[in-house]
């Protein structure tokens, strides 16, 4: 974990949306501005803009004789490794993340992790021991999604599953519902304010952890 001793806490923000002017993109901008105003570092991985390839290759499936990571996955892992928190921002399409985001989990976040390791809770991934925050949006209001059991199912599909599979420190979720085309500025501002508040809370948490870790280090010398 030597990489975590970098000067400031680091947030990796992964965005999966095809439109750079979308509400999801605004969420990312607000999140990053807030993080930087807290004196912390934020890097954005805009998957559509990067032209990320979400299709897992046959060679990338974990096998007895080992696994071969593709160069693009290796490069991506190098770019994101060692962050304090991974924040995934995406719309919910048909009750699930876009293919772009599931592919990022399949190829990058879950690189080389086998089903056996997940079952034994021994999966080693860039997420191990880190925090994760999912920020999702949907066109229907949260209450309706809830009636369908969707929010709970999505949470158990992604959040709970990844939390355990990769032994993460924590996994939280912020859902912003009722996001349709042409919604009012007041509504947008309100939703972005929720993002701002959550980002500040996350910054405080990781800063406190850094502080505690620093105190332990000083105490042990």
- Considering the rule CB under 8 A, would residue 134 count as an interface residue with another protein? no
Q: Which two tokens stand for residue 77?
A: 């892992």
We find the least distance from the C-beta atom of residue 55 to another protein, in angstroms, to be 6
Sole window of 82-90, 111-119, 186-194, 204-212 interacting with another protein (rule: CB under 8 A): 111-119
Q: In this complex, which beta carbon is closest to another protein, that of residue 113 or of residue 199? A: 113
Q: For the chain, give the number of residues.
A: 221
- Considering the rule CB under 8 A, would residue 138 count as an interface residue with another protein? yes
CA separation for the pair 11, 101 (Å, rounded): 17
Residues 63-92 that bind another protein (CB under 8 A): 63-64
- Considering the rule CB under 8 A, would residue 58 count as an interface residue with another protein? yes
CA separation for the pair 112, 177 (Å, rounded): 34
- Considering the rule CB under 8 A, would residue 153 count as an interface residue with another protein? yes
We find the least distance from the C-beta atom of residue 119 to another protein, in angstroms, to be 5
CA separation for the pair 46, 35 (Å, rounded): 17
Q: How many CB atoms lie within 10 A of CB 89?
A: 26
Which residues, in sequence order, are bridge partners of residue 135? 89, 174
Compute the C-alpha angle 170/176/180, nearest 5°. Answer: 150
- Phi then psi dihedrals of residue 47, to 5 deg: -65, -40
We find the least distance from the C-beta atom of residue 137 to another protein, in angstroms, to be 11
Q: In this complex, which beta carbon is closest to another protein, that of residue 129 or of residue 214? A: 129
CA separation for the pair 174, 170 (Å, rounded): 13
Can you give the binding site for another protein, defined by CB under 8 A? 18-19, 48, 54-58, 61, 63-64, 93-100, 102-103, 105-106, 110, 113-116, 118-119, 138-140, 144, 148-150, 152-154, 156-158, 160-162, 164-165, 180-181
């Amino acid at each position: 974990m030597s990489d975590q001793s970098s000067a400031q806490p680091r947030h990796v923000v992964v965005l999966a949306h095809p439109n750079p002017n979308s509400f999801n993109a605004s969420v990312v901008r607000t999140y990053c501005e807030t993080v930087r105003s807290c004196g912390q570092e934020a890097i954005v991985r805009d998957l559509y803009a990067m032209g990320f390839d979400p299709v897992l290759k046959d060679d990338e499936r974990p096998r007895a004789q080992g696994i071969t990571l593709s160069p693009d996955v290796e490069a991506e892992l190098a770019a994101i490794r060692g962050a304090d928190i991974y924040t995934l921002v995406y719309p919910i399409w048909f009750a699930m993340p876009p293919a772009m985001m599931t592919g990022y989990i399949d190829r990058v976040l879950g690189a080389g992790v086998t089903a056996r390791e997940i079952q034994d809770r021994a999966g080693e991934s860039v997420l191990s021991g880190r925090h994760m925050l999912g920020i999702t949006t949907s066109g229907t209001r949260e209450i309706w999604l809830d009636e369908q059991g969707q929010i709970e199912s999505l949470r158990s599909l992604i959040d709970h599953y990844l939390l355990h599979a990769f032994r993460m420190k924590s996994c939280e979720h912020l859902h912003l519902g009722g996001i349709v085309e042409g919604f009012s500025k007041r509504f947008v501002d309100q939703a972005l304010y929720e993002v701002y508040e959550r980002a500040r809370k996350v910054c405080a948490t990781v800063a406190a952890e850094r502080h505690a870790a620093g105190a332990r280090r000083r105490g042990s010398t």
